[in-house]
């Protein structure tokens, strides 16, 4: 009975494959437009307000600054500069929000392209439906956070590198996308090395020259931003003056996954705020290294706790009014089935070995957990990788379909 029902699902999805994919993209474009406009001009989160402030100052000619006076390297430039471009054109906040929904619609097609390259296009409609069903992606797109753009960039990187052959054009493209990702969302810095490692294995050392070109292109592009920081601050800040604070919030004797943001109210934090951005970053890095050196056992236990928490279905938010039992229930029923699919695929990988593309998607997801556990795991940080997981579920669906439904002759 289960097999018959599954066959019916396969037949319907296959019959309406393209309309479903187009419909999913259209959903993000239409529903995103309505949602963006309904939110008006209010920005609920502090970081979103700061992104907008930087972009507004750039657009008005007051420099790359939060307050319009003091330069900043706290936020990397790609997202604020993109916002500044549209602000300069006169776009209100709701239009800036809508950019994220355009990115989500593009993700539907990029995932389809990834699956098509893997000969798993049958899973594209399911992936599109899952993108819609994973409501936190839609919710986050309604903010001015960088996660949606980072999602698009990561998927583009995957699509680029799975194409064959990996020639010099793709090598340059990988370098450009890597720089854009890092200068959009610095915590994605682990993605390019991981992708290069995947490209070179197994026995693909002939690609070394091309991956070196990718690295050089990325370094050159990032160096323009680094040079700006050096000339403004008279100090080498390669990417951002932000990061060590998050590292310290997640790595100190009093770290608590339930109350990380209480550091904002401590006297120590208020004193540190009087320092310059670069001095703050150095201070927090020093304090983190001191904690690791003096209490390695506690640090390791804390890391393992954060690693498990990376796969949580909720976290505590700085903006208290954003807490909601309903949102937690929705996250539970939408996230854990995706995670369960990954676990099942790994369990059965001995019987049906992972393809090289699947290995890349799985490696990105697992490495993201290992990486973010060093800092402070948040669902918002995980979202781009949940989209990668959804792409992998699309491949899984295609494999299951192929095993139960004969291909058309």
Q: Render 24-87 in DSSP notation, one character per residue.
A: HHHHHHHHHHHHHHHHTT---SHHHHHHHHHHHHHHTTS-SBSSSSSB--SS-SHHHHHHHHHH
- Say how many C-beta atoms besides its own lie within 10 A of residue 60's C-beta: 12
Contacts of 287 (CB under 8 A, 6+ apart): 248, 252
Q: For residue 9, with 0-12 CB atoms within 10 Å meaning exposed, 13-18 middle and 19 or more buried, which class applies?
A: middle
Inter-residue contact 405 to 220 (CB < 8 Å):
no
pLDDT digits (tens, 9 = 90+) for 278-336: 888 888 899 999 999 999 999 999 999 999 999 998 875 555 555 567 788 888 999 99
Cα-atom radius of gyration of the chain, to the nearest Å?
Answer: 22
Inter-residue contact 179 to 218 (CB < 8 Å):
yes
Give the distance, in angstroms, between the CA of residue 324 and the centroid of all CA atoms in the same chain. 23
Beta bridge partners of 71: 65
At 409 the pLDDT is 37
At 10 the pLDDT is 76
* Domain range list for the chain: 2-404
Inter-residue contact 215 to 272 (CB < 8 Å):
no
Residue 349 DSSP one-character state:
T
Beta bridge partners of 65: 71
pLDDT digits (tens, 9 = 90+) for 72-130: 999 999 999 999 999 999 999 999 999 999 999 999 999 999 999 988 899 999 999 99
At 86 the pLDDT is 97
Residue 258 DSSP one-character state:
T
Quote the tokens at residue 329.
Answer: 């229930």
At 34 the pLDDT is 97
At 315 the pLDDT is 74
Q: For residue 378, with 0-12 CB atoms within 10 Å meaning exposed, 13-18 middle and 19 or more buried, which class applies?
A: buried
Q: Can you tell me whether residue 65 is helix, strand or coil?
A: strand
Which residue bears the tokens 């907008």?
A: 52
User: Which residues of the chain carry a pLDDT beneath 50?
Assistant: 1, 409
Burial per residue of 392-403, b for 16 or more beta-carbon CB atoms within 10 angstroms, e otherwise: bbbbbbbbbbee
DSSP assignments along 101-132, one per residue: HHHHHHHHHHHHHHHHHTT-GGGHHHHHHHHH
Residue 199 DSSP one-character state:
H
Alpha carbons 245 and 254: distance in angstroms, whole number: 14
């Amino acid at each position: 009975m289960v097999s018959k029902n599954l066959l019916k699902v396969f037949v319907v999805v296959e019959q309406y494959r393209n309309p479903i994919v187009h419909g999913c993209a259209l959903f993000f474009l239409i529903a995103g437009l309505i949602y963006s406009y309904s939110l008006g001009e209010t920005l609920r989160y502090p970081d979103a307000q700061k992104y907008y402030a930087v972009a507004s100052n750039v657009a008005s000619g007051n420099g790359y600054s939060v307050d319009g006076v003091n330069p900043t390297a706290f936020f990397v430039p790609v997202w604020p500069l993109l916002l500044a471009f549209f602000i300069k054109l006169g776009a209100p906040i709701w239009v800036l929000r809508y950019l994220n929904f355009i990115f989500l619609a593009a993700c539907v097609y990029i995932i389809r392209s990834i699956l098509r390259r893997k000969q798993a296009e049958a899973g594209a409609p399911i992936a599109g439906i899952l993108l819609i069903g994973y409501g936190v992606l839609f919710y986050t797109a309604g903010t001015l956070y960088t996660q949606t753009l980072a999602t698009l960039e990561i998927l583009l990187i995957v699509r680029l590198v799975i194409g064959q052959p990996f020639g010099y054009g793709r090598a340059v493209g990988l370098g450009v996308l890597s720089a854009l990702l890092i200068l959009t969302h610095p915590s994605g810095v682990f993605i390019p090395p991981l992708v290069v490692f995947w490209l070179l294995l197994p026995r693909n050392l002939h690609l070394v020259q091309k991956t070196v070109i990718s690295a050089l292109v990325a370094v050159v592009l990032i160096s323009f931003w680094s040079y700006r920081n050096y000339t403004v601050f008279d100090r080498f800040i390669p990417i951002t003056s932000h990061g060590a604070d998050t590292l310290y919030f997640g790595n100190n004797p009093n770290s608590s996954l339930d109350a990380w943001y209480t550091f904002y109210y401590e006297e120590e934090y208020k004193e540190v705020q009087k320092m310059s951005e670069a001095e703050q970053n150095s201070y927090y890095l020093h304090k983190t290294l001191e904690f690791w050196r003096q209490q390695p056992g506690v640090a390791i236990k804390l890391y393992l706790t954060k690693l498990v928490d990376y796969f949580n279905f909720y976290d505590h938010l700085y903006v208290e009014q954003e807490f909601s039992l309903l949102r937690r229930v929705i996250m539970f029923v939408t996230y854990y089935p995706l995670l369960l699919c990954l676990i099942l695929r790994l369990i059965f990988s001995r019987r049906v070995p992972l393809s090289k593309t699947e290995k890349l998607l799985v490696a990105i997801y697992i490495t993201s957990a290992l990486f973010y556990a060093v800092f402070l795991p948040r669902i918002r940080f995980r979202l781009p990788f949940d989209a990668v997981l959804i792409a992998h579920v699309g491949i899984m669906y295609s494999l299951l379909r192929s095993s139960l439904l004969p291909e058309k002759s």
